[in-house]
Structure 1
Amino acid sequence: MRASFDLTGKVALLTGASRGMGLAMATSLADHGARVVISARKADQLEAAREQIEAEVPGAQVFAVAANVGYRDQLEALVAQCHALAGPVDILVGNAGVNPYYGKTSEIPDAAYDKTMSANVQSNLWLAQLVAPDMAGRGGGSMIFTSSIGAFKPSEMLGTYGMSKLALIGLVRNLAMEFGPRGIRVNAICPGLIRTEFARELWDNPEVENRIQGEIPLRRLGEPEDLAGIVVYLASDAGRYMTGQALTVCGGSNMWA
């Protein structure tokens, strides 16, 4: 059974992987044998992430390629460089996301709305289109996209972000149906409140302790490492019959969603 989680010989491409959840997932995939290509916007942060993974996983094969997911041409270049450095893609983790606007959905500026939907939804469709031929040519593969528990409920201040993550789940379901006959699995991971820089405004305040006590059955915030296991499960043969799903990793806060 342990062999079901072995990713030796597989190539994993991750966006939003220079820190936080993306870095934790990349490290876990490398630890299970995958050759890993990590991407984010800032080259210096990527290089630091690459060095960290190599320090934590002796012998890991890790490559860093800077790209902005908001631009299709940069994603095309990213996939091309992945091919050159590591080979065809077996595992895609679309983890990059943005939240440029904090406020009412009814008042969001057009530019902020477009940026949110482009980065959180459109970019993942582009990535899927770009790597699907790799996976089909190798008899199958796994696409994993980071959604959010914000997809399951309205919010006065984070509503548009939640909308984009719900749209991403819709994308996942449709891609799962379309790509399934080619052996390609597509799933979403929906984290709860995770202690990352991206979510700092949500957890770095005095009210969080009350929220933890009242809303999270496990009585703690999530940590980036809490995503390490599920990404390996979805990427590997252990999850070979799992597709089209949105799996919550939230300490129980959304078990009734």
Structure 2
Amino acid sequence: MKRLQGKVAIVTASTDGIGFSIAKRLAEDGASVVVSSRKQSNVDSAVDSLKKLNLEVLGVKCHVGLAADRKSLFEETIKKYGKLNILVSNAAANPTVGGVLTCDESSWDKIFDVNVKSSFLLAKESLPLLRKSKGSNIVFVSSIAGYDPFELLGAYSVSKTALIGLTKAAAKELAPEGIRVNCIAPGIIRTKFSRALYESESAHEEALTRIPLRRLGESDEIAGVASFLVSDDASYITGEGIVASGGMNSRL
């Protein structure tokens, strides 16, 4: 029996990159997975790809910053599957490049609205559903930059540090109810979102000097961590940040 058989999971921003890999892995491990992102065309494409693999998935368009979209995401999940066991909050934005104190106010607000506030609201709004199932889980996708800030991603790095704090606070609050809350801190993963960190030869070489394993990570390597965290194999783990960074510094 697959370890997530009978579970229902929502994964936000899951039509590409790390989110798509997480959705795929959870479904491969037996879960019914709700795939979502801002654009309906991207949702349709991802669902089509996953269904061709005979995986049980549902696609719902959801901009995590919009209350109506979040409400629809949960309503469509319950309409289709009748319950929710797992929430993986993966959506992130980074509209600016530069140091933290050079970030303009509008970019700061957008980064924190999407990366932190929306994760908080998704967790809060999912609780009535998660409480109805035994052994429910919330996973926030943070970043190695939350532990060791990237010079060119100053505000983004701070937002990812905030997710680590949210994980620890929510985990303590929900532990008496048996709901576990953890986060994953990926290193430099080969995705479109992070390509500025490795797309040029010089950037790639610079990145490799910071990674003891001397290679970039792949999305599927993060998906394996997510599947572990939401499974019974991790039943005594809560409030933790699992770093998957090829050995990059992760001391906060």
Per the TM alignment, residue 65 of structure 1 is displaced from its structure 2 partner at its CA by: 0.3
Tell me, yes or no, if structure 1 residue 68 matches structure 2 residue 67: no
Tell me, yes or no, if structure 1 residue 25 matches structure 2 residue 22: yes
Asked if 1 retains the 8 angstrom alpha-carbon contact of 2:148 and 2:250, the reply is no
Asked if 1 retains the 8 angstrom alpha-carbon contact of 2:84 and 2:133, the reply is no
- Distance in 2 (CA, whole Å) between partners of 1:162 and 1:87 is 37
| Counterpart code for 2:63 | N
Unaligned regions of 5+ residues in structure 1, if any?
none
| 1:181–1:28 distance in 2 versus 1, CA, 3 Å | same
| Counterpart code for 1:39 | S
Aligned counterparts, 1:1-257, within 5 A: 6-56=3-53, 58=54, 60-254=55-249
Deviations 1:173-202 (A, max 9, x none): 110000111110000100000010111111
| Counterpart code for 2:118 | S
Per the TM alignment, residue 151 of structure 1 is displaced from its structure 2 partner at its CA by: 0.7
Question: Bigger CA drift: 103-112 or 236-245?
Answer: 103-112
| Counterpart code for 1:8 | Q
| Counterpart code for 1:94 | S
Report the TM-score, using the length of structure 1 for normalisation: 0.93
Asked if 1 retains the 8 angstrom alpha-carbon contact of 2:63 and 2:69, the reply is yes
Per the TM alignment, residue 82 of structure 1 is displaced from its structure 2 partner at its CA by: 1.1
| Counterpart code for 1:22 | G
Asked if 1 retains the 8 angstrom alpha-carbon contact of 2:197 and 2:207, the reply is no
Per the TM alignment, residue 212 of structure 1 is displaced from its structure 2 partner at its CA by: 4.9
Unaligned regions of 5+ residues in structure 2, if any?
none
- Distance in 2 (CA, whole Å) between partners of 1:25 and 1:19 is 10
Per the TM alignment, residue 255 of structure 1 is displaced from its structure 2 partner at its CA by: 5.4
Asked if 2 retains the 8 angstrom alpha-carbon contact of 1:248 and 1:254, the reply is no
SS at 2:246's partner residue?
A: coil
Question: Bigger CA drift: 13-22 or 225-234?
Answer: 225-234
Asked if 1 retains the 8 angstrom alpha-carbon contact of 2:4 and 2:26, the reply is yes
Asked if 2 retains the 8 angstrom alpha-carbon contact of 1:194 and 1:224, the reply is yes
Report the TM-score, using the length of structure 2 for normalisation: 0.95
Identity %: 37
Asked if 2 retains the 8 angstrom alpha-carbon contact of 1:90 and 1:142, the reply is yes
CA root-mean-square deviation: 1.5
Aligned pairs, how many?
Answer: 252
| Counterpart code for 2:238 | T
Per the TM alignment, residue 229 of structure 1 is displaced from its structure 2 partner at its CA by: 1.1
Asked if 1 retains the 8 angstrom alpha-carbon contact of 2:6 and 2:30, the reply is yes
Deviations 1:156-182 (A, max 9, x none): 321100000000110111100001111
- Distance in 1 (CA, whole Å) between partners of 2:207 and 2:149 is 20
- Distance in 2 (CA, whole Å) between partners of 1:71 and 1:143 is 20
